[in-house]
Amino acid sequence: MRIIDLNETSRNNLLEDLLKRSPGQYGAYAGQVEAILKDIKEKGDEALFAYTERFDGVRLDKDSFRVTPKEIREAYEQVDPKLLAVMRRALANIRSYHEKQRRYSWFDSQPDGTLLGQKITALQSVGVYVPGGKAVYPSSVLMNIVPAKTAGVEQIVMTTPPGKDGKISPNTLVAASEAGADVIYKAGGAQAIGALAYGTASIPKVDKIVGPGNIYVALAKKAVYGFVSIDSIAGPSEILVLADESANPRFVAADLLSQAEHDEMASAILITTSRRLAEQVSAETDRFVQKLSRRAILEKSLENYGCILVADSMDAAIEAANAIASEHLEIVTRDPFQVMTKIRNAGAIFIGEYASEPLGDYFTGPNHVLPTNGTARFFSPLSVDDFIKKSSIVYYSREALEAVHQDIIRFANAEELTAHANSIAVRFADQADIQRREEP
Which residues are catalytic, by number? Answer: 327-328
Buried b (16+ CB within 10 A) or exposed e, 357-389: bbebbbbbbbbbbbbbbbbbeebebbbbbbbbe
Buried b (16+ CB within 10 A) or exposed e, 246-259: ebbbebbbbbbbbb
In a 13 Å sphere around the CA of 168, the CA atoms on its Cβ side amount to: 35
| DSSP sequence for 57-100 | S----TTTSBPPHHHHHHHHHHS-HHHHHHHHHHHHHHHHHHHT
- How do beta strands 114-122 and 388-396 pair? antiparallel
**Residue 97 to residue 434: CA distance in whole angstroms:** 61
Angle between helices 295-305 and 275-291 (to 10 degrees): 150
Is residue 115 within 8 A of residue 86, CB to CB? The reply is: no
DSSP state of 262: S
Give, in degrees to the nearest 5, the angle at Cα 142 between 21 and 184.
Answer: 95
Residue type, 301: S
55, exposed or middle or buried, with CB in 10 Å at 0-12, 13-18, 19+?
middle
Residue type, 198: Y
**Residue 3 to residue 6: CA distance in whole angstroms:** 9
**Residue 265 to residue 303: CA distance in whole angstroms:** 10
**Residue 181 to residue 71: CA distance in whole angstroms:** 14
The kind and range of the H/E element at 308 are: strand 306-310
